[in-house]
């Protein structure tokens, strides 16, 4: 029990720059909605007529660096997000996209 609570304390005491993997995944999920990725890729990233599904992106398909490039530079029909996202935010989106299944953004994000 003491160990569990110690971990909780460590978890909540972390500075913003040292997010845990779970926190990054959650931040990515929120960004995916707040930045409008869901407009083309769908709320659960399963794709729409405007953008492909992002549910099967693993290391075997796209290396993280290529995913980050797609987000920063855009593609043929996808706009570039390099100007509107920080490196950390791009990283969080990549981490979120590569986690299976994609966790949903939690309700408190104002959705």
Binding characters for ligand HEC, 48-87, by CB under 6 A (x = yes): --xxx-x--x---------x--xx---xxxxx-x------
Nearer to ligand HEC, 23 or 35 (CB): 35
Pick one of 23, 33, 34, 35: the residue that binds ligand HEC (CB under 6 A).
35
36 touches ligand HEC by CB under 6 A: yes
* Two tokens, residue 50: 């405007």
Q: Where are the alpha helices (DSSP H) in the chain?
A: 2-13, 21-34, 37-41, 64-73, 87-97
Q: Where are the beta strands (DSSP E) in the chain?
A: none
Least Å from the CB of residue 33 to ligand HEC:
9
Whole-angstrom distance, CA of residue 106 vs CA of residue 31 = 11
Nearer to ligand HEC, 27 or 81 (CB): 81
Whole-angstrom distance, CA of residue 31 vs CA of residue 12 = 21
How far are the Cα atoms of 62, 67, 90 from residue 74, in angstroms, in the given order? Answer: 15, 10, 12
Note the residues at the interface with ligand HEC (CB under 6 A). 35-37, 39-41, 50-52, 54, 57, 67, 70-71, 75-79, 81, 93, 97
């Amino acid at each position: 029990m003491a160990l569990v609570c110690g971990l909780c304390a460590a978890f909540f005491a972390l500075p913003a720059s040292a997010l845990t993997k779970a926190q990054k995944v959650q931040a990515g999920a929120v960004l995916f909605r707040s930045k409008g990725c869901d407009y083309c890729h769908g709320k659960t990233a399963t794709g729409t007529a405007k953008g492909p599904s992002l549910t099967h992106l693993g290391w075997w398909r796209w290396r993280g660096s290529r995913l980050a490039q797609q987000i920063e530079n855009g593609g043929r029909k996808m706009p570039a997000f390099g100007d509107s996202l920080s490196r950390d935010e791009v990283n969080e989106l990549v981490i979120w996209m590569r986690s299976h299944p994609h966790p949903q953004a939690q309700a408190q994000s104002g959705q």
